[in-house]
């Protein structure tokens, strides 16, 4: 039986703030919160509430070891490769999980957000199972849970260590967060990272944590649409902005810094090269900002390899993530070395795949050694 968790007051003594990985970075919410424009009055207020709500969950939890995560018993009769989804409705409250509204095998409901969440969880499961042989987040058939309609005009979506949670957006800057399949894949991928490399959520390791989620979020979308690397948009969060915003998405993996350029929101601040690496104490040391650098490295490698990105480039990144060779505080150079080693191990040191991975990293200014683990 699920215990209700009231998140409206994270300071309560009987509530332990969960690990939270949100799709909308705090610097963008802060910009929206400061808007002085009658067109976006509701958005400014919604952003202020979202920042207030998310603040207590934003500090990184320092750890030098893999986490000990709660064990869930396998479902009776469960088989590998079979997804199990549970969608709940918070009904605009900040209490989780909310009221169960759709479970595995039930037909679509009249609520589009419920159906989008259900389908998106299934699409994400299919990518990890069919492309990488991973049976859900924990590789042991963990049920995929999600809650929709969280909070009032809540401007975010997040993974809290147990479930996906979606806000409805403010209707002025953001639409509902179940609209974007890349967002759903991104957030669930945080759960995979948590159970594998457990990259610490600060500085370069935190940017890698965000990068890995962007990679698999993009791959979920590409896999579902059956797009090749060349055909794909490489956008994260496409469709989230309303028509009032001059922007295509939250981030562009192919061209970091170009996802939006709006008179009110400003310009996408992500760097695309180490020459422009941002040193900051905000955003846990720029985890959503500097992730643009490894994002572009992966995108360039995937396009150079060619074909569907999940088949080879994605498999290399999955191998690197699950290799056991990444410390929790791994930096960009370390991840580059491990990913090159993974490409060499799977395809050969002189393969097109290995050369493409090296080229991707060097193109964004990351020094590489070309050997497994950097040895």
N- to C-terminal Cα separation, the chain:
49
Sign of the Cα torsion 82, 116, 51, 12 reads negative
Instruction: Classify residue 106 as exposed, middle or buried by CB count within 10 Å of its CB (0-12, 13-18, 19+).
Output: exposed
Query: Is-contact 42 34, C-beta < 8 A?
Result: no
In the chain, the largest separation of any two C-alpha atoms, in whole Å, equals 59
Per-residue pLDDT of the chain in tens (375 residues, 90 and over written 9): 344 444 444 443 333 334 678 999 999 999 999 999 888 999 999 999 988 877 544 444 444 444 444 444 445 556 899 999 999 999 999 999 999 999 999 999 999 999 999 999 999 999 999 999 999 999 999 999 999 999 999 999 999 999 999 999 999 999 999 999 999 999 999 999 999 999 999 999 999 999 999 999 999 999 999 999 999 999 999 999 999 999 999 999 999 999 999 998 999 999 999 999 999 999 999 999 999 999 999 999 999 999 999 999 999 999 999 999 999 999 999 999 999 999 999 999 999 999 999 999 999 999 886 444 333
Catalytic residue among 94, 288, 325, 344: 288
Query: Is-contact 221 182, C-beta < 8 A?
Result: yes
Helical segments of 133-260, H only? 181-194, 203-225
- Give residues with Cβ within 8 angstroms of 310, minimum separation 6: 127, 131, 219, 222, 223
CA dihedral 230, 303, 157, 23 (to 10 degrees): -130
Catalytic residue among 162, 172, 187, 202: 187
- Give residues with Cβ within 8 angstroms of 228, minimum separation 6: 222, 306, 307, 308, 309
Exposure letters 164-175 (e unless 16+ CB within 10 A, then b): bbbbbbbebbbb
Distances (CA, A) of 105 to 101, 142, 244: 12, 16, 38
Domains and CATH numbers, the chain: 5-194 (3.10.170.10), 203-374 (1.10.390.10)
Q: Does residue 91 have an active-site annotation?
A: no
Q: Does residue 162 have an active-site annotation?
A: no
């Amino acid at each position: 039986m699920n215990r209700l968790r009231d998140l409206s007051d994270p300071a309560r003594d009987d509530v332990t703030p969960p690990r939270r990985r949100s799709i909308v970075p705090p610097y963008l919410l802060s910009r929206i919160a400061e808007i002085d424009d009658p067109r976006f009055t509701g958005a400014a207020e919604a952003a202020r509430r979202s920042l207030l709500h998310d603040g207590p969950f934003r500090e990184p939890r320092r750890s030098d070891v893999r986490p000990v995560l709660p064990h869930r018993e396998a479902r009776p009769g469960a088989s590998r490769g079979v997804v199990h989804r549970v969608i709940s409705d918070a009904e605009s409250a900040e209490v989780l999980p909310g009221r169960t509204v759709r479970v595995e095998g039930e037909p679509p409901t009249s609520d589009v957000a419920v159906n989008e969440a259900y389908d998106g969880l299934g699409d994400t499961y299919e990518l990890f199972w069919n492309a990488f042989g991973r049976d859900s987040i924990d590789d042991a058939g963990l049920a995929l849970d999600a809650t929709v309609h969280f909070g009032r005009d809540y401007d975010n979506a997040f993974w809290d260590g147990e479930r996906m949670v979606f806000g409805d957006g403010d209707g002025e800057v953001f639409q509902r967060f179940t609209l974007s399949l890349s967002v759903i894949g991104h957030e669930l991928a945080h759960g995979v990272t948590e159970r594998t490399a457990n990259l610490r959520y600060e500085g370069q390791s935190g940017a890698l944590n965000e990068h890995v989620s962007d990679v698999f979020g993009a791959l979920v979308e590409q896999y579902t649409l059956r797009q090749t690397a060349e055909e794909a948009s490489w956008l994260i969060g496409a469709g989230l902005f309303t028509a009032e915003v001059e922007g295509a998405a939250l981030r562009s993996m192919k061209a970091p810094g170009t996802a939006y350029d709006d008179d009110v929101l400003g310009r996408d601040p992500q760097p695309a090269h180490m020459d422009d690496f941002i040193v900051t104490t905000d955003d846990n040391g720029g985890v959503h900002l500097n992730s643009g650098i490894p994002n572009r490295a992966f995108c360039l490698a995937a396009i150079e390899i060619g074909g569907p990105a999940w088949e080879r480039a994605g498999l290399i990144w999955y191998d690197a993530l699950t290799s056991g060779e990444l410390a929790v505080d791994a930096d960009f150079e370390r991840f580059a070395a491990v990913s090159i080693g993974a490409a060499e191990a799977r395809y050969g040191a002189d393969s097109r795949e290995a050369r493409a991975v090296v080229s991707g990293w060097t193109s964004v200014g990351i020094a590489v050694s070309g050997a497994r683990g950097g040895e």
